[in-house]
Structure 1
Amino acid sequence: MKKLLRTTVLLACTSLTTNLYAQNKSNVIVIVADDAGYADFGCYGGKEIPTPNIDQLAKNGVLFTDGYVSASVCAPSRAGILTGMYQQRFGFEHNISKKPVEGYTQQDVGMDPKIKTIGDQMKYNGYRTIAIGKWHQGDYEQYFPMNRGFDEFYGFVGGHRNFFGYKGKAPAPELVLYNNRNIVPENTITYTTDMFTDKAISFIKENKTKPFFMYLAYNAVHVPMNAKEELMRKFSHITDPGRRAYAAMMVSLDDGVGQLVQNLKEQGLYDNTLIVFINDNGAATGNYADNGKLRGLKGSKWEGGIRVAYIMQYPKHIPAGKIYHNMVSSLDILPTAVAAANGKLIEGQPTDGVNLIPYLNNKVKGEPHKDLFWRRGIAAAVRSGNWKLIRSGDNPVLLFDLKKDISETTNLADKYPAKKKELLTKLENWESTVDKPHWISDYGDYNQIMKHRMEVKGREMELKYP
């Protein structure tokens, strides 16, 4: 009888602990897509490629029309997401390269080990953490995800790899697929999008009784254009083979999101999980993605390089079906995640983001950001309210009123010199608060100058200046 009583008390305590966890610490999943087009999601007006599961996140949550990342290329954008800081604060201005600047070595090319990541922040608040998919934050051991706040890692450390297995071994160390620190044999790799989804689901099942944080960074829909044959046949009506493969890859991505959400429901975790979906930058020049009415592509300061699909779903905490038009940033993900954890930020590290939850449920009025800034090499930009300024070397300064001209067709710099001066001053003041790049781009400044000329327009022309 005493043994039965002890068991009953233990079960009651376990139930109480689980209920307290459910009330106070929400699970958090951040899903990052790679190089997708702003206009290729149904919820953003896309018609050609069905994305019902991602669209459902928007129906059950908040869709941001003016959501931005902190960089228009993969690695620095992800550094911003992972740290909640302008990555220029710690010299991470360019994609990973083999060109460290004076005072730094190749070992310094990566996310500064002194900086705390969202993984560190969530572990500090009692969470089990995992990074899945593409990392791209440095190729050396000190940058490995399990040294950067993540209990588990299932993915690759480089910027891209084949979705199917390579014949033999992966051709370079950064292309290897890891399961924690163990190398996954290439002959067991089926299709990375599906494998990342499967890993995410198994992690949820293993951690359903304790709070968890997941950074799920798919390499879809980055090149190479590797699609499953059965999905390619589904889009046989698309004549361009590259666009057909892109559509098939998008469906694999969307299917993965749907499976993930379904698993949350099956585990009874759906209502207590914050899901953030974001794309890392605009459509790439080489992957057949479509930015719609947004000018420019990946790598540029045009809206098509930095404005992205950005959705947040958090049942019972933020509204469903809301379209939010104020500026928000990928830098907001980290403080929002910590807020969902009912937690605290680690002291001593600044954040450039804000907790979005009170803005979305109308507990805080006003705008999350008055100004947002970008810089990569010689090209920099600022958005302040509806005004956007781009400065790139000796090119004429560009000024646009995005409310009237979202496609950035008319340069208003000469018409509004005071506004031009005001935004240039804001940009310079921001630059005084950040570090110089610790390494430079493989592509140099020339391409950045050419990308930001009014006459350079459209994918065919931008392909010349990657």
Structure 2
Amino acid sequence: MIYRITFYRILTLLSVLSLVEISVFAQQRPNVIVILSDDGGYDDFGCYGGKEVHTPHIDELAKQGIRFQCAYASASVCAPSRAGLLTGRYQQRFGFEHNISKRPTNGTALEDIGMDTSVATIADFMKYNGYKTVGIGKWHQGDGPQFHPLKRGFDHFFGFIGGDRSYFPIPGKVKPTQMLVDDGRIFPEDSIRYLTETLTDKAISYVHRYRQQPFFMYLAFNAIHTPVEAPLTQNSKYNHIADPLRRAYLAMLENMDSNIGRLIEQLKSDGLYENTLIIFMNDNGAATNNGADNGQLRGLKGSKWEGGIRVPMIMQWPAKLPKGKVVNAMVSGMDILPTSMDAIQGKNIPGQAIDGLSLLSSYKAAKNGHEYLFWRRGVAKAVRHAEWKLIVVKDDPILLFNLKNDLKEQHNLAEKYPDNVKEMLGQLAEWEKKMAAPKWLSGVLDNDQNQMMKHRMDVIGRAAEKKYP
């Protein structure tokens, strides 16, 4: 009897030790949180030079981590940019060239417009490596049931399927793409306080729920996308701003920053902060209609100018990465997937090619980025290589800029450096051979004409740029 009690005590102790070992192992594997803002201006974040708005929590991410000065979205509009981020590859590889529309090209059925289901997402990769996966916020990767986040690698999804919706409860009938859903169940409109806050509430609840096991979270705010609806409790703070659109936009941005702060406080409260990789990024350049500011960058959302594709991007992991680093390496939203996999030392899903690079060593040398980056949407294409930037738009004159000397893209050097033009056009042609034709066209019927107009050298100034969305 004594021996039996001793045996059971030993067995119990071993079981406890085993659980402790599993718990320690889980804690050693970092959590990964990707935070995406929507349509923010490059100059509207304090750590990127913003002066009119207070973004202390985003600025603190940069202070405690790495700020990328030469980061790019893989597209200058929402949906394809997100497809590139979520898959770690050029979205043109699988025909996702334009925003979601109702205009399929030959060979594509209307119901098949969305992110190719044969392509694995970052959630698929993380789940493949034993992580709980949580998606929150704006999806915009296809309206059909086969494209739903719960079928694209996410264990949980709290958000809406489309590209925009109100920040406040929608009265009356709600469009299916704008309904807020909670793991497939419709979330009551009257339970929404202010959407940015409601999304963060859910993110916080999942952080606490999965605090004892590794998790991946994709928190895709719809802030600061239209409709421009400031939170009622903060709107008066910016009364000194003359433009009412800009005033409301700044209040929305500060509210998003405050909610990022709430999320970080939860990580600290649950003891997860030090071993959580956080990557913050904006999805594309400042929109033409939301009051955002790109500062000195030429162009806006939808263009191949720097103001359309260069974005704020910050990476923080207190346990592993240095603090306060500013990195000039050329990086992309496509790098988020391989960076996450590198952080967890994960295994790749067989047969899934990746175009992105891990950023974990990007701070060690400027060359630890991409040698070339490419863009294409309709008739507008671009190439970035070293300090050079090439823009090609149908029959318009070819544009070549030296961004090291001319970040504002004021001086076309195409005629002066024909060899550079020839080399970059050759690289672009080789890249295009590997890409697929778009499976659908832009929902903007005059998109090609807009593309041609917005990339003309004589379209100068914000008022002129905003004429061609």
Equivalent-residue separation in structure 2 for 1:253 and 1:5 (angstroms): 51
Superposed CA deviations along residues 51-71 of structure 1, whole A, max 9, x for unmatched, are: 000000000000000000100
Which amino acid is 1:104 matched to? T
Residue 329 of structure 2 aligns to which amino acid in structure 1?
Answer: N
Matched, 1:194 2:197: yes
Confirm whether residue 287 of structure 1 aligns to residue 300 of structure 2: no
Structure-2 residue corresponding to 1:325: 328
* Aligned-partner residue type, residue 16 of structure 2: L
Whether the 8 Å contact between 1:168 and 1:187 is mirrored in structure 2 is no
Match of 2:37 in 1: 33
Q: Does 1:12 align with 2:5?
A: no
- d(CA) in 1 for partners of 2:292 and 2:20? 48
Provide the TM-score with structure 1 as the length reference.
Answer: 0.97
**CA displacement, residues 160-200 of structure 1 (integer Å, 9 cap, x when unaligned):** 00000101231x11011000100112122111100111111
1:209 corresponds to which residue?
A: 212
Partner in structure 2 of residue 80 of structure 1: 84
Q: What corresponds to 1:97 in structure 2?
A: 101
Per-residue CA deviations over 1:202-241 (Å, capped at 9, x if unaligned) read 0011101111000000000000001112211111111111
Residue 154 of structure 2 corresponds to 150
Specify the alignment match of 1:180 in structure 2: 183
The Cα offsets for residues 123-173 of structure 1, whole Å up to 9 and x where unpaired, read as 000000011000000000000000000000000000000000101231x11
Aligned partner (choices 112, 125, 131) of residue 127 of structure 1: 131
* Residue 351 (structure 1) aligns with: 354
Structure 1 equivalent of residue 110 of structure 2: 106
User: Conserved in 2, the CA contact under 8 Å of 1:375 and 1:381?
Assistant: yes
Give the number of aligned pairs: 462
2:435 corresponds to: 434
Q: Structure 1 CA distance, aligned partners of 2:148 and 2:456?
A: 38
Is residue 169–residue 185 contact of structure 1 (8 Å, CA) maintained in 2? no
- Letter of the structure 2 residue corresponding to residue 232 of structure 1: N
Question: For 1:62, which of 58, 63, 66 is the aligned residue?
Answer: 66
Q: Distance in 1 between matches of 2:250 and 2:359?
A: 32
- The 2-side partners of 1:457 and 1:42 are apart by 26
Aligned to 2:371: 370
Matching residue of 2:405: 404
Matched position secondary structure for 2:233: helix
Which ranges of structure 2 fall in alignment gaps of 5 or more residues? none
The CA distance in 2 between the partners of 1:254 and 1:224, in whole Å, is 18
Name the SS for the 2:219 alignment partner. strand
- Cα pair 2:327 2:362 within 8 Å, conserved: no
Q: Distance in 1 between matches of 2:331 and 2:12?
A: 50
1:316 paired residue number? 319
Q: CA RMSD in A?
A: 1.2
The percent identity for this pair of structures is 54
**SS of equivalent residue, structure 1 residue 263:** helix
CA–CA separation in structure 2 for the residues paired with 1:421 and 1:340: 39
Native 8 Å contact 1:85 1:352 kept in 2: yes
Distance 1:330 1:61 in 2: 17
Deviation at 1:22, TM superposition (A): 2.0
Measure the CA separation in 1 of the matches of 2:269 and 2:236: 31
| Residue of 251, 258, 261 corresponding to 1:248 | 251
What letter corresponds to residue 22 of structure 1 in structure 2?
Q
Match of 1:422 in 2: 423
Rounded Cα–Cα distance in structure 2 between residues aligned with 1:316 and 1:420: 44
**Aligned residue for 2:142?**
138
State the alpha-carbon separation in 2 of the partners of residues 463 and 407 from structure 1: 17
**Moved beyond 6 Å, runs of 4+:** none
